[in-house]
Protein backbone atom coordinates (compact mmCIF):
# COMPACT_ATOMS: atom_id res chain seq x y z
CA UNK A 1 0.00 0.00 0.00
CA UNK A 2 1.18 3.45 -0.82
CA UNK A 3 2.49 5.62 2.06
CA UNK A 4 -0.07 8.31 1.40
CA UNK A 5 -2.88 5.77 1.39
CA UNK A 6 -1.76 4.57 4.81
CA UNK A 7 -1.64 8.10 6.09
CA UNK A 8 -5.14 8.75 4.76
CA UNK A 9 -6.60 5.71 6.45
CA UNK A 10 -4.90 6.58 9.75
CA UNK A 11 -6.27 10.08 9.50
CA UNK A 12 -9.77 8.75 8.96
CA UNK A 13 -9.47 6.54 12.01
CA UNK A 14 -8.10 9.31 14.16
CA UNK A 15 -10.88 11.67 13.06
CA UNK A 16 -13.50 9.04 13.86
CA UNK A 17 -12.11 8.56 17.39
CA UNK A 18 -11.86 12.25 18.09
CA UNK A 19 -15.36 12.87 16.82
CA UNK A 20 -16.74 10.18 19.06
CA UNK A 21 -15.41 12.04 22.07
CA UNK A 22 -16.73 15.45 21.08
CA UNK A 23 -19.54 16.70 23.29
CA UNK A 24 -20.41 20.12 22.00
CA UNK A 25 -20.72 22.14 18.85
CA UNK A 26 -17.87 24.55 19.46
CA UNK A 27 -15.36 21.72 19.99
CA UNK A 28 -16.77 20.06 16.89
CA UNK A 29 -16.12 23.21 14.88
CA UNK A 30 -12.51 23.32 16.07
CA UNK A 31 -12.11 19.72 14.98
CA UNK A 32 -13.72 20.43 11.61
CA UNK A 33 -11.28 23.22 10.93
CA UNK A 34 -8.44 20.91 11.94
CA UNK A 35 -9.41 18.21 9.44
CA UNK A 36 -11.36 19.90 6.67
CA UNK A 37 -10.41 23.56 6.93
CA UNK A 38 -8.41 25.27 4.18
CA UNK A 39 -5.14 24.67 5.99
CA UNK A 40 -6.35 21.42 7.56
CA UNK A 41 -5.18 17.85 7.48
CA UNK A 42 -7.08 16.65 4.41
CA UNK A 43 -6.16 19.50 2.05
CA UNK A 44 -2.54 18.91 3.10
CA UNK A 45 -2.83 15.24 2.24
CA UNK A 46 -4.59 16.02 -1.06
CA UNK A 47 -1.65 18.22 -2.02
CA UNK A 48 0.65 15.23 -1.73
CA UNK A 49 -1.28 13.40 -4.44
CA UNK A 50 0.68 15.30 -7.07
CA UNK A 51 3.90 13.56 -6.01
CA UNK A 52 2.48 10.05 -6.18
CA UNK A 53 3.82 7.96 -9.12
CA UNK A 54 1.39 7.93 -12.03
CA UNK A 55 0.71 4.23 -11.77
CA UNK A 56 -0.46 4.44 -8.17
CA UNK A 57 -2.43 7.65 -8.61
CA UNK A 58 -5.85 6.15 -9.44
CA UNK A 59 -5.87 3.91 -6.37
CA UNK A 60 -4.57 6.60 -4.03
CA UNK A 61 -6.97 9.15 -5.49
CA UNK A 62 -9.84 6.78 -4.84
CA UNK A 63 -8.79 6.32 -1.21
CA UNK A 64 -8.45 10.06 -0.84
CA UNK A 65 -12.03 10.58 -2.01
CA UNK A 66 -13.36 7.82 0.19
CA UNK A 67 -11.62 9.22 3.27
CA UNK A 68 -12.78 12.74 2.50
CA UNK A 69 -16.38 11.60 2.08
CA UNK A 70 -16.25 9.52 5.19
CA UNK A 71 -14.91 12.33 7.35
CA UNK A 72 -17.37 14.82 5.92
CA UNK A 73 -20.20 12.36 6.54
CA UNK A 74 -19.07 11.82 10.13
CA UNK A 75 -19.02 15.55 10.78
CA UNK A 76 -22.50 16.02 9.37
CA UNK A 77 -23.83 13.17 11.45
CA UNK A 78 -22.22 14.46 14.63
CA UNK A 79 -23.46 17.99 14.04
CA UNK A 80 -27.02 16.75 13.67
CA UNK A 81 -26.67 14.60 16.78
CA UNK A 82 -25.44 17.47 18.95
CA UNK A 83 -28.04 19.90 17.65
CA UNK A 84 -30.77 17.45 18.37
CA UNK A 85 -29.65 16.90 21.95
CA UNK A 86 -29.93 20.67 22.45
CA UNK A 87 -26.27 21.12 23.22
CA UNK A 88 -25.26 24.35 21.57
CA UNK A 89 -22.75 25.82 23.97
CA UNK A 90 -19.41 25.25 25.55
CA UNK A 91 -18.76 22.53 28.12
CA UNK A 92 -18.73 23.70 31.73
CA UNK A 93 -22.17 25.20 31.31
CA UNK A 94 -24.66 23.05 33.13
CA UNK A 95 -27.98 23.58 31.42
CA UNK A 96 -29.78 21.77 34.19
CA UNK A 97 -28.85 24.50 36.69
CA UNK A 98 -31.82 26.68 37.71
CA UNK A 99 -31.80 30.16 36.17
CA UNK A 100 -30.96 33.34 38.00
CA UNK A 101 -33.89 34.27 40.16
CA UNK A 102 -35.33 37.75 39.76
CA UNK A 103 -36.66 38.61 43.19
CA UNK A 104 -40.31 39.55 43.16
CA UNK A 105 -40.59 43.15 44.29
CA UNK A 106 -43.04 44.26 46.92
CA UNK A 107 -44.63 47.49 48.01
CA UNK A 108 -42.70 49.81 50.27
CA UNK A 109 -44.43 50.30 53.65
CA UNK A 110 -45.15 53.95 52.80
CA UNK A 111 -46.70 52.97 49.48
CA UNK A 112 -48.82 50.36 51.24
CA UNK A 113 -50.14 52.82 53.78
CA UNK A 114 -50.72 55.38 51.04
CA UNK A 115 -52.62 52.93 48.83
CA UNK A 116 -54.74 51.88 51.77
CA UNK A 117 -55.56 55.44 52.80
CA UNK A 118 -56.42 56.34 49.20
CA UNK A 119 -58.71 53.30 48.97
CA UNK A 120 -60.52 54.30 52.18
CA UNK A 121 -61.19 57.84 50.94
CA UNK A 122 -62.17 56.66 47.47
CA UNK A 123 -64.84 54.51 49.05
CA UNK A 124 -66.18 57.72 50.59
CA UNK A 125 -66.35 59.37 47.17
CA UNK A 126 -63.06 61.26 47.12
CA UNK A 127 -61.22 61.55 43.82
CA UNK A 128 -57.42 61.53 43.60
CA UNK A 129 -55.86 64.82 42.46
CA UNK A 130 -52.24 65.63 41.81
CA UNK A 131 -49.94 68.63 41.84
CA UNK A 132 -46.24 69.38 41.27
CA UNK A 133 -43.53 68.77 43.88
CA UNK A 134 -41.84 71.95 42.63
CA UNK A 135 -44.31 74.66 43.57
CA UNK A 136 -44.21 78.43 43.68
CA UNK A 137 -44.50 80.66 46.70
CA UNK A 138 -47.99 81.77 45.74
CA UNK A 139 -49.53 78.28 45.67
CA UNK A 140 -47.62 76.95 48.65
CA UNK A 141 -48.11 80.01 50.90
CA UNK A 142 -49.86 83.17 49.69
CA UNK A 143 -52.97 81.56 48.22
CA UNK A 144 -53.24 79.51 51.40
CA UNK A 145 -53.49 82.73 53.38
CA UNK A 146 -50.09 82.28 54.98
CA UNK A 147 -48.82 85.70 56.14
CA UNK A 148 -45.37 86.77 54.84
CA UNK A 149 -43.98 86.73 58.37
CA UNK A 150 -45.01 83.13 59.03
CA UNK A 151 -41.84 81.39 60.29
CA UNK A 152 -42.38 78.32 58.09
CA UNK A 153 -41.71 80.55 55.05
CA UNK A 154 -38.10 81.36 55.91
CA UNK A 155 -35.30 79.56 54.04
CA UNK A 156 -34.54 77.72 57.29
CA UNK A 157 -37.86 75.89 56.97
CA UNK A 158 -38.45 75.75 53.22
CA UNK A 159 -36.27 74.64 50.31
CA UNK A 160 -36.17 77.48 47.74
CA UNK A 161 -34.69 77.46 44.25
CA UNK A 162 -32.28 80.24 43.18
CA UNK A 163 -32.45 81.97 46.52
CA UNK A 164 -31.35 85.62 46.26
CA UNK A 165 -31.82 88.20 48.99
CA UNK A 166 -35.44 88.05 50.10
CA UNK A 167 -36.86 86.68 46.83
CA UNK A 168 -38.38 83.88 48.89
CA UNK A 169 -41.21 86.34 49.52
CA UNK A 170 -41.78 86.74 45.77
CA UNK A 171 -44.95 84.82 44.73
CA UNK A 172 -43.22 83.42 41.66
CA UNK A 173 -40.15 82.01 43.38
CA UNK A 174 -39.94 78.24 43.06
CA UNK A 175 -39.73 75.95 46.06
CA UNK A 176 -40.14 72.33 47.02
CA UNK A 177 -43.65 72.14 48.42
CA UNK A 178 -43.66 71.94 52.21
CA UNK A 179 -47.15 70.45 52.29
CA UNK A 180 -49.70 68.96 49.89
CA UNK A 181 -52.08 71.88 50.59
CA UNK A 182 -51.12 73.82 47.40
CA UNK A 183 -52.95 71.07 45.50
CA UNK A 184 -56.14 72.42 47.12
CA UNK A 185 -55.48 75.71 45.36
CA UNK A 186 -54.69 74.11 41.99
CA UNK A 187 -57.84 71.99 42.09
CA UNK A 188 -60.06 74.93 43.07
CA UNK A 189 -58.51 77.08 40.35
CA UNK A 190 -59.35 74.52 37.71
CA UNK A 191 -62.71 73.18 38.92
CA UNK A 192 -66.01 74.50 40.12
CA UNK A 193 -67.57 73.26 43.36
CA UNK A 194 -68.79 70.86 44.58
CA UNK A 195 -65.58 68.89 44.81
CA UNK A 196 -64.17 66.17 46.95
CA UNK A 197 -60.52 65.31 46.40
CA UNK A 198 -57.55 63.73 48.08
CA UNK A 199 -53.96 64.18 47.09
CA UNK A 200 -51.25 61.82 48.28
CA UNK A 201 -47.75 63.08 47.68
CA UNK A 202 -44.27 63.97 48.76
CA UNK A 203 -43.37 67.09 50.73
CA UNK A 204 -40.04 68.60 51.69
CA UNK A 205 -38.70 70.51 54.68
CA UNK A 206 -35.10 71.18 55.68
CA UNK A 207 -35.18 69.18 58.91
CA UNK A 208 -32.09 67.48 60.26
CA UNK A 209 -32.85 63.79 59.80
CA UNK A 210 -33.43 61.86 63.02
CA UNK A 211 -35.65 59.03 64.21
CA UNK A 212 -38.84 60.99 63.51
CA UNK A 213 -37.81 63.58 60.90
CA UNK A 214 -36.60 63.40 57.34
CA UNK A 215 -35.99 66.03 54.65
CA UNK A 216 -38.83 64.61 52.68
CA UNK A 217 -42.00 62.88 53.81
CA UNK A 218 -45.46 62.04 52.54
CA UNK A 219 -48.86 63.53 53.19
CA UNK A 220 -52.40 62.94 52.09
CA UNK A 221 -54.38 66.10 51.59
CA UNK A 222 -58.15 66.10 51.56
CA UNK A 223 -60.54 68.84 50.43
CA UNK A 224 -64.31 68.89 50.34
CA UNK A 225 -66.20 71.94 49.08
CA UNK A 226 -69.96 72.15 48.77
CA UNK A 227 -72.91 74.06 50.21
CA UNK A 228 -73.48 73.72 53.96
CA UNK A 229 -70.41 71.67 54.83
CA UNK A 230 -69.82 71.49 58.58
CA UNK A 231 -67.15 70.55 61.07
CA UNK A 232 -69.33 67.54 61.98
CA UNK A 233 -68.89 66.26 58.40
CA UNK A 234 -65.13 66.60 58.80
CA UNK A 235 -65.14 64.73 62.08
CA UNK A 236 -67.33 61.99 60.64
CA UNK A 237 -64.99 61.44 57.69
CA UNK A 238 -61.87 61.42 59.87
CA UNK A 239 -63.49 59.05 62.39
CA UNK A 240 -64.49 56.67 59.63
CA UNK A 241 -61.01 56.85 58.13
CA UNK A 242 -59.39 56.12 61.52
CA UNK A 243 -61.62 53.08 62.10
CA UNK A 244 -60.89 51.71 58.63
CA UNK A 245 -57.17 52.31 58.97
CA UNK A 246 -56.57 51.31 62.58
CA UNK A 247 -59.59 49.22 63.62
CA UNK A 248 -63.19 49.63 64.67
CA UNK A 249 -62.46 50.31 68.32
CA UNK A 250 -60.53 53.50 67.52
CA UNK A 251 -62.04 56.85 68.61
CA UNK A 252 -61.07 60.29 67.36
CA UNK A 253 -61.03 63.66 69.01
CA UNK A 254 -60.50 67.18 67.66
CA UNK A 255 -58.31 69.71 69.46
CA UNK A 256 -58.23 73.44 68.60
CA UNK A 257 -55.19 74.42 66.55
CA UNK A 258 -54.06 77.05 64.05
CA UNK A 259 -53.49 76.87 60.31
CA UNK A 260 -53.66 79.98 58.12
CA UNK A 261 -55.82 78.24 55.51
CA UNK A 262 -58.49 76.85 57.83
CA UNK A 263 -60.81 78.56 60.32
CA UNK A 264 -61.52 77.07 62.75
CA UNK A 265 -58.50 74.77 62.68
CA UNK A 266 -58.10 71.54 64.57
CA UNK A 267 -55.72 68.71 65.12
CA UNK A 268 -57.25 65.28 64.95
CA UNK A 269 -56.11 62.54 67.34
CA UNK A 270 -56.95 58.85 67.23
CA UNK A 271 -57.00 56.79 70.41
CA UNK A 272 -53.68 54.97 70.67
CA UNK A 273 -53.86 51.61 68.91
CA UNK A 274 -50.89 50.28 70.87
CA UNK A 275 -52.37 50.71 74.35
CA UNK A 276 -56.05 51.22 73.46
CA UNK A 277 -55.93 54.67 75.04
CA UNK A 278 -54.38 53.54 78.32
CA UNK A 279 -51.13 55.47 77.81
CA UNK A 280 -47.87 53.96 76.58
CA UNK A 281 -44.49 54.95 75.17
CA UNK A 282 -45.77 55.40 71.62
CA UNK A 283 -48.49 57.87 72.68
CA UNK A 284 -46.22 59.33 75.36
CA UNK A 285 -48.69 58.38 78.05
CA UNK A 286 -51.54 60.47 76.67
CA UNK A 287 -53.58 57.65 75.12
CA UNK A 288 -53.88 59.66 71.88
CA UNK A 289 -51.97 59.80 68.60
CA UNK A 290 -52.08 62.85 66.38
CA UNK A 291 -53.13 61.77 62.88
CA UNK A 292 -54.08 64.93 60.98
CA UNK A 293 -54.21 68.69 60.80
CA UNK A 294 -57.60 69.89 59.59
CA UNK A 295 -60.25 72.57 59.66
CA UNK A 296 -62.93 74.45 57.75
CA UNK A 297 -61.57 76.15 54.62
CA UNK A 298 -60.79 79.77 55.46
CA UNK A 299 -63.06 82.15 53.46
CA UNK A 300 -59.90 84.08 52.49
CA UNK A 301 -58.71 80.98 50.61
CA UNK A 302 -62.01 80.76 48.73
CA UNK A 303 -61.60 84.38 47.73
CA UNK A 304 -58.06 83.71 46.46
CA UNK A 305 -59.37 81.10 44.03
CA UNK A 306 -62.55 82.95 43.04
CA UNK A 307 -65.07 80.87 45.01
CA UNK A 308 -67.88 82.74 46.76
CA UNK A 309 -67.42 82.16 50.52
CA UNK A 310 -71.05 83.18 51.11
CA UNK A 311 -72.25 80.34 48.95
CA UNK A 312 -69.72 77.62 49.64
CA UNK A 313 -68.10 76.08 52.66
CA UNK A 314 -65.67 73.21 52.96
CA UNK A 315 -63.21 71.33 55.05
CA UNK A 316 -59.61 70.30 54.45
CA UNK A 317 -57.25 67.94 56.18
CA UNK A 318 -53.66 66.84 55.80
CA UNK A 319 -51.98 63.85 57.33
CA UNK A 320 -48.49 62.49 57.42
CA UNK A 321 -48.05 58.94 56.18
CA UNK A 322 -44.69 58.08 57.73
CA UNK A 323 -46.12 58.26 61.19
CA UNK A 324 -48.98 55.95 60.27
CA UNK A 325 -46.56 53.43 58.76
CA UNK A 326 -44.37 53.64 61.87
CA UNK A 327 -47.28 52.97 64.20
CA UNK A 328 -48.76 50.31 61.93
CA UNK A 329 -45.56 48.30 61.52
CA UNK A 330 -43.93 49.22 64.85
CA UNK A 331 -40.98 50.94 63.16
CA UNK A 332 -39.04 53.01 65.68
CA UNK A 333 -36.72 54.92 63.34
CA UNK A 334 -37.99 56.76 60.28
CA UNK A 335 -34.60 56.54 58.58
CA UNK A 336 -35.09 52.78 58.15
CA UNK A 337 -37.77 53.59 55.60
CA UNK A 338 -35.35 55.37 53.29
CA UNK A 339 -32.16 53.33 53.46
CA UNK A 340 -33.29 50.75 50.89
CA UNK A 341 -31.94 47.97 53.05
CA UNK A 342 -33.56 44.83 51.70
CA UNK A 343 -33.26 43.05 55.04
CA UNK A 344 -35.60 45.71 56.40
CA UNK A 345 -37.90 45.97 53.40
CA UNK A 346 -38.37 42.20 53.06
CA UNK A 347 -40.28 42.23 56.34
CA UNK A 348 -43.32 43.94 54.86
Binding residues among 290-309 for ligand PHE as defined by CB under 6 A: 293-295
- Return all residues near 257 (Cβ < 8 A) that are at least 6 apart: 265, 266, 267, 293, 295
Smallest separation, CB 293 to ligand PHE (Å): 3
Q: Is residue 241 involved in binding ligand PHE (CB under 6 A)?
A: no
Q: Is residue 224 involved in binding ligand PHE (CB under 6 A)?
A: no
Quick check: 12 and 71 in contact, CB under 8 A? yes
Select 12 or 220, whichever has its Cβ closest to ligand PHE.
Answer: 220
Select 200 or 277, whichever has its Cβ closest to ligand PHE.
Answer: 200
Stretch of 45-53, 125-133, 288-296, 300-308 lying at the interface with ligand PHE (CB under 6 A): 288-296
Stretch of 17-25, 76-84, 159-167, 311-319 lying at the interface with ligand PHE (CB under 6 A): 311-319
Minimal CB distance residue for ligand PHE: 318
- Return all residues near 85 (Cβ < 8 A) that are at least 6 apart: none
Q: Is residue 260 involved in binding ligand PHE (CB under 6 A)?
A: no
The reply to whether omega before 194 is within 30° of 0 (cis) is yes
The reply to whether omega before 255 is within 30° of 0 (cis) is no
- Near ligand PHE by CB under 6 A: residue from 41, 317, 324, 337: 317
Q: Is residue 182 involved in binding ligand PHE (CB under 6 A)?
A: no
Q: Is residue 259 involved in binding ligand PHE (CB under 6 A)?
A: yes
Q: Is residue 179 involved in binding ligand PHE (CB under 6 A)?
A: yes
d(CA 174, CA 176): 7
Q: Within 13 Å, how many C-alpha atoms sit on residue 293's CB side?
A: 16
Bridge partner residues of 119 (DSSP): none
Stretch of 69-77, 167-175, 312-320, 327-335 lying at the interface with ligand PHE (CB under 6 A): 312-320
- 329 CB-contact burial (10 Å; exposed 0-12 / middle 13-18 / buried 19+): middle
Q: Is the dihedral of CA 279, 280, 284, 289 positive or negative?
A: negative
Select 11 or 179, whichever has its Cβ closest to ligand PHE.
Answer: 179
Smallest separation, CB 291 to ligand PHE (Å): 11
How many angstroms separate the Cα of 348 from the Cα of each of 322, 325, 344, 345? Answer: 14, 11, 8, 6
Residue 190 — φ and ψ, nearest 5°?
A: -105, -5
Q: Is residue 316 involved in binding ligand PHE (CB under 6 A)?
A: yes
* Per rule CB under 6 A, count of chain residues that contact ligand PHE: 11
Smallest separation, CB 254 to ligand PHE (Å): 12
d(CA 218, CA 320): 6
Q: Is residue 181 involved in binding ligand PHE (CB under 6 A)?
A: yes
Binding site for ligand PHE (CB under 6 A): 179, 181, 221, 259, 262, 293-295, 316-318
Amino acid sequence: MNELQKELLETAELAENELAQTQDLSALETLRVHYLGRKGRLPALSAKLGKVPAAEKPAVGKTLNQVKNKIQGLFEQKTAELQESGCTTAPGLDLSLPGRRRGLGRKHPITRVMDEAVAIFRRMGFIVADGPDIEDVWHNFDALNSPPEHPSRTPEDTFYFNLQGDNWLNPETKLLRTQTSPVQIRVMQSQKPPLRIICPGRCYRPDTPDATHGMSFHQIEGLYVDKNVSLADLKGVLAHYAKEMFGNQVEVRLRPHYFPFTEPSVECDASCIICAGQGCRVCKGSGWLEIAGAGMVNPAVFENVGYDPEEYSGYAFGMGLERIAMIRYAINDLRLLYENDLRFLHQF
